[in-house]
Amino acid sequence: MTIFVLMPAYNAGATIEKVFARIPPAVRDRITKYVVVNDGSRDDTAAAIKRLQAQFPNLAGLRHEVNRGYGGVQKTLLGYAVEHGADIGIGLHSDGQYSPESIPELLAPIEAGAAEIVQGSRMLGGGALRGNMPLYKFVANKSLTAIENWAFGLKMAEYHSGYMLYARRAMTEIPFPKLSNSFDFDLEMIVMAKVKGLRVREIAIPTIYADEKSHLRPVQYGMRVLKVVRDYRLGKYDSL
């Protein structure tokens, strides 16, 4: 299988090289291409990507001159993966919050033909609070997830991890260019998987909260999640 690592990078100059250094050697040997999109960064992200390209000849560096938002950069990454024949796309963030060491476990269900989407879940296994997830984020996550499970008829531990892996079928059957340009993009991908009859699996990952800077605004994000729930109940996603 051709496996692409798909990485958004916004002001990630201080962290992106550390993330690449943590990718297990056995995983590196299996990656066909790394794709990094510099999403209008204002720091030295571009220089960091250039240094990485000297170490990883199969790294494609793309650039948005103006920041397009989290969903906007995901669209560029997934579009590139589809166009260049990826069988699996691994959405790995450049800020270090999601563990590259977990890639083998996350790949397994897709490689076994048991899922079209795999989400790395911080809420499985009870590790979220042990990993220093702030209590207010933990409570908000659990509350929103309860509403989403009711609305979507699923039984997921969470919907709000950005550690997402996609089989080619998911990348080609889900109309991702029509989805959000904001942080609710990943949630909409799960919703569209439900609509399209695709299988979603969750795999427990370590929860890592350190000094990385989040660009997500919790209140606005929560409101966008509730809008997705409303739109789903109104049948919006059935018509995409």
Task: State the pLDDT at residue 157.
Answer: 95
Q: Are strands 200-204 and 59-64 parallel, antiparallel or unpaired?
A: unpaired
Q: pTM to 2 decimals?
A: 0.94
Phi/psi zone of residue 208: left (φ > 0), alpha (ψ -120 to 50 degrees), beta? Answer: beta
Query: How many angstroms separate the CA atoms of 57 and 34, rounded?
Result: 9
Query: How many angstroms separate the CA atoms of 109 and 61, rounded?
Result: 28
Give the total number of structural domains in the chain: 1
User: Which of 2, 7, 37, 11 has its CA nearest to residue 22?
Assistant: 7
Q: What is the domain extent for residue 52?
A: 3-239
Query: How many angstroms separate the CA atoms of 131 and 213, rounded?
Result: 16
In the chain, % helix, strand, coil (3-state, to 5) comes to 45, 15, 40
Neighbouring C-alpha atoms within 13 Å toward the C-beta of 112? 11
Residue type, 211: D
CB 47 within 8 A of CB 19: no
Please state the length of the chain: 240
Mean pLDDT by 10 residues, the chain (240 residues): 97 97 95 98 97 97 97 98 98 94 98 98 79 82 96 95 97 98 97 98 84 69 96 96
Measure Cα distances from 31 to 3, 75, 132, 227 in Å.
Answer: 5, 20, 31, 36
Query: How many angstroms separate the CA atoms of 28 and 190, rounded?
Result: 27
Measure Cα distances from 67 to 63, 112, 133, 151, 161 in Å.
Answer: 9, 36, 27, 32, 21
Number of Cβ atoms within 10 Å of the Cβ of 198: 19
Q: What is the CATH number of the domain that holds 14?
A: 3.90.550.10
